[in-house]
């Protein structure tokens, strides 16, 4: 085993208590081997080797940009700043832990798996492939996911083991993670060490960005964990700034720690943190207001569409307008007065500012939605995206309301059933971006139906109107309700399918400014002494 938390045995028992007692009774004979948990130490000669195929523990390495051009830019720069930064390792801890229930379904060897996952289709395909089954032999259902944010994407070993156990004993088998198991065995996030540098002209315009990062990807270099740090994060490394030259050198290193994967933005927060810290460092170096330095480097609307040095194209963006709104709302220019008031009370006051860019879609830019209009007065939308606290069901229902013109209570969202809908799932900030567009497309089909036969109407088809759940012939009182029409169909429902494919990712952006005060060190010490 390569890290604390790696599964080595499974117990199937009649009760939770019996299973826990049996698991504690298992004795594993471990041979202690040298371990390394620091990625920088893992690359040094003589470090413990995790994988014979990678004797230096380097799982992957990528370079982006133009190193020679960056070197030339730094040589002629009027100002240069550098920082050593750490994006610390994170252990996701969702309100609802991972849980898996597998049970035989019918007599044909089919298996029903119920679990907490952001990507039901990926679980179905992964379990089927691991057990040598056809996809049709596995059905995965998921309810509301009690928190995921990346750590519940894809397949875990426990999912496969529980499915195998249920097939073996022919009975339902359930496993639920304990909180400490989640900390050690669920994929972790971040863990990036970076040497970052920025070169600037005398007027504050950035010439070049140069970084050298080492990513600790844990005991096993999983595809997602490596791609996040070596490719996806760098896509937004220049954020909303017009930086012409970059040189990025990124290395993924294996250590005896839990593998890393997707978590809360998956690479983009690390990249934004790096460039924003550099902007602050440059502002201090040049004695320029941090907001003003950012403004001088922002991509202008007339530059759109704009291709950044990583080859990513921003379609639209008014970054300076966003900055101005934030500065006004935060009373940025009133800081000096607030600081003076704080000083008079014996307190220190500081302020901070950050701008950011997000990348959405996960490069899975297509989504399908099925709409069923039911006679009982319900419009049912079947989707492959998952609710996990982000309010996606409400958003999708509101989009359907805009098209159908019926009350929100008459919209029902069905999700988390691979027998009814399959797709990429919810990851990469794509649920509303792709799923919402598919809902709009699919919803337009029933509302544009021509329900009145030519023999019974005196107006041409183009004069059929739809409004608020009812079809009418323009200029008359003749018509039929949407749900009444559904009841008259051979299947007693109106069914429509629709999909949407985005041409490219979208690039949400914003700014944040904050000011707060804190006791001065001397006053803080006196408070502690009084206590």
User: Which tens digits make up the pLDDT trace of 269-315?
Assistant: 999 999 999 999 999 999 999 999 999 999 999 999 999 999 999 99
pLDDT of residue 362: 83
Residue 10, domain member (yes or no): no
Kindly write down the DSSP assignment for every residue of 74-120, as one continuous string.
HHH-SEEEEEEEEEEEE----SSPPEEEEEEETTTTEEEEEE--S-H
How much is the pLDDT for 453?
45
Judging by DSSP bridges, how do beta strands 99-105 and 110-115 pair with one another? antiparallel
Same domain, 248 and 116: no
CA distances for 518 relative to 50, 77, 98, 526, angstroms: 46, 37, 40, 14
> pTM for the complete prediction?
0.91
Is residue 109 located within the same domain as residue 147? yes
Q: What is the DSSP letter of 310?
A: T
b/e map 177-186, b = 16+ CB within 10 Å: beeebbbebb
For position 98, what pLDDT does the model report? Answer: 93
Is 377 inside a domain boundary?
yes
Q: Is it the case that residue 459 has pLDDT exceeding 70?
A: no
Domain presence at residue 283: yes
Q: Considering its fold, how many domains does the chain have in total?
A: 4
Taking residues 18-46, what's their average pLDDT? 96
Is 475 within a domain? yes
pLDDT digits (tens, 9 = 90+) for 221-259: 999 999 999 999 999 999 999 999 999 999 999 999 999
Query: By mean pLDDT, which of 188-192, 208-212, 294-298, 516-520 is the weakest?
Result: 516-520
Together in a domain, 207 and 331: no
User: Is residue 210, in this structure, part of any structural domain at all?
Assistant: yes
**What is the percent of the chain with per-residue pLDDT over 70, rounded to a whole number?**
95
What percent of the chain stands above pLDDT 90? 78
Residue where a domain terminates, one of 138, 159, 185: 185
Q: Same structural domain for residues 294 and 387? A: no
- pLDDT band at 452; cut points 50, 70, 90: very low
Helix then strand then coil, % of the chain, to nearest 5: 35, 30, 40
What's the rounded mean pLDDT across residues 123-148?
94
Domain-embedded: residue 313:
no
d(CA 244, CA 385) in angstroms, rounded, equals 37
Final residue of a structural domain among 152, 185, 218: 185
Same domain for 87 and 215, yes or no, is: yes
Q: Does 152 lie in the same domain as 78?
A: no
Say what the pLDDT of residue 107 is.
79
H helix runs in 191-306, sequence order? 223-227, 268-286, 290-297
Are 142 and 413 within 8 A, CB to CB?
A: no
Query: Given the structure tokens 């998956």, which residue do they identify?
Result: 266
CB neighbour class for 201 (10 Å; exposed up to 12, middle 13-18, buried from 19): middle
Question: Domain with 47 in it: what CATH number?
Answer: 3.30.365.10
* Residue 407 domain boundaries: 366-501
Q: Which of 295-304, 447-456, 494-503 shows the lowest per-residue confidence on average (mean pLDDT)?
A: 447-456
Same domain, 386 and 463: yes
What's the CA gap between 208 and 243, in Å, rounded?
6
Is residue 426 domain-shared with residue 512, that is, in the same domain?
no
Residues 6+ apart with CB under 8 A from 460: none
Q: What is the three-class DSSP state of 271? A: helix
Which residues have a Cβ under 8 Å from the Cβ of 337 and sit 6 or more positions away? none
Quick check: 455 pLDDT over 50? no
Give yes or no for residue 166 having a pLDDT over 50.
yes
Q: Are residues 232 and 164 in the same domain?
A: no
Give me the pLDDT at residue 457, please.
Answer: 43
Give burial (CB, 10 Å; 0-12/13-18/19+) of 28. Answer: exposed
Q: For 338-395, what is each residue's pLDDT tens digit?
A: 999 999 999 999 999 999 999 988 888 899 999 999 999 999 999 999 998 888 999 9
Query: Other C-beta atoms within 10 Å of 508: how many?
Result: 13
Checking if the pLDDT of 131 tops 90, the result is yes
| Residue 312 placed within a domain | no
Residues 374 and 474 in one domain: yes
CA distance 529 to 383: 60
Q: Is the separation of the CB atoms in 191 and 89 below 8 Å?
A: yes
pLDDT tens for each residue of 90-125: 998 888 999 999 999 987 889 999 999 999 999 999
pLDDT band at 447 (very low <50, low <70, confident <90, very high): low
Residues 392 and 352 placed together within one structural domain of the fold: no
The DSSP code for 440 is: H
Quote the CA–CA distance of 209 and 223 in Å, as a whole number.
Answer: 27
**Other Cβ atoms closer than 10 A to 361:** 18
278 and 379 belong to one structural domain: no
- The mean of the pLDDT values for the chain is 92
Q: For residue 64, tell me if it sits in a domain.
A: yes
């Amino acid at each position: 085993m390569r890290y604390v938390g790696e599964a080595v045995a499974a117990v199937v028992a009649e009760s939770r208590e019996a299973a826990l007692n049996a698991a504690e009774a298992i004795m594993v004979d471990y041979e202690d081997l040298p371990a390394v948990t620091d990625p920088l130490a893992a690359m040094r000669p003589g470090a413990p080797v995790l994988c014979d195929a990678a004797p230096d523990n380097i799982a992957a390495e990528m370079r982006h940009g133009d190193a020679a051009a960056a070197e030339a830019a730094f040589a002629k720069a009027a100002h240069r700043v550098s920082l050593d930064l750490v994006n610390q390792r994170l252990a996701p801890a969702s309100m609802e832990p991972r849980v898996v229930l597998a049970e035989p379904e019918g007599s044909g060897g089919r298996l029903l798996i119920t679990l907490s996952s952001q990507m039901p289709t990926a679980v179905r395909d992964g379990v089927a492939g691991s057990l040598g089954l056809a996809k049709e032999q596995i059905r995965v259902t998921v309810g509301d996911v009690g928190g995921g944010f990346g750590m519940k994407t894809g397949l875990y070993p426990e999912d496969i083991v529980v499915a195998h156990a249920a097939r073996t004993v022919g009975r339902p088998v359930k496993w639920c993670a304990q909180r400490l198991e989640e900390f050690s065995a669920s994929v972790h996030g971040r863990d990036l060490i970076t040497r970052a540098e920025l070169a600037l002209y005398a007027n504050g315009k950035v010439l070049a960005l140069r970084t050298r990062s080492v990513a600790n990807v844990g005991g096993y270099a999983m595809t997602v964990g490596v791609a996040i740090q070596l490719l996806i994060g760098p896509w937004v490394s220049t954020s909303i700034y017009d930086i012409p030259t970059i040189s990025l050198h990124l290395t993924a290193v294996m250590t005896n720690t839990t593998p890393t994967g997707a978590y809360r933005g998956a690479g983009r927060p690390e990249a934004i943190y790096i460039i924003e810290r550099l902007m602050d460092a440059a502002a201090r170096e040049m004695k320029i207001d941090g907001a003003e330095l950012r403004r001088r480097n922002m991509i202008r609307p007339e530059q759109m569409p704009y291709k950044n040095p990583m080859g990513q194209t921003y379609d639209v963006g008014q970054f300076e307008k966003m900055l101005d709104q934030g500065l006004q709302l935060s009373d940025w220019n009133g800081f000096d007065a607030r600081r003076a008031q704080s000083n008079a009370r014996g307190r220190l006051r500081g302020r901070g500012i950050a701008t950011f860019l997000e990348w959405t879609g996960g490069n899975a830019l297509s989504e399908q939605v099925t709409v069923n209009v039911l006679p009982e007065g319900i419009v049912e939308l079947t989707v492959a995206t998952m609710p996990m606290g982000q309010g996606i069901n409400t958003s999708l229902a509101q989009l359907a309301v805009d098209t159908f013109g019926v009350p929100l209570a008459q919209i029902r969202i069905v999700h988390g059933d691979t027998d009814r809908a399959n797709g990429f799932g919810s990851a990469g900030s794509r649920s509303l971006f792709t799923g919402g567009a598919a809902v709009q497309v699919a919803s337009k089909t029933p509302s544009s139906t021509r329900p009145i036969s030519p023999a019974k109407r005196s107006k041409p088809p183009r004069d059929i109107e739809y409004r608020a759940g009812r079809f009418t012939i323009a200029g008359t009182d003749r018509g039929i309700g949407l749900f009444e029409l559904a009841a008259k169909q051979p299947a007693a429902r109106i069914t429509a399918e629709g999909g949407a494919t985005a041409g490219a990712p979208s690039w949400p952006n914003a700014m944040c400014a904050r000011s707060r005060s804190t006791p001065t060190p001397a006053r803080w010490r006196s408070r502690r002494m009084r206590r």
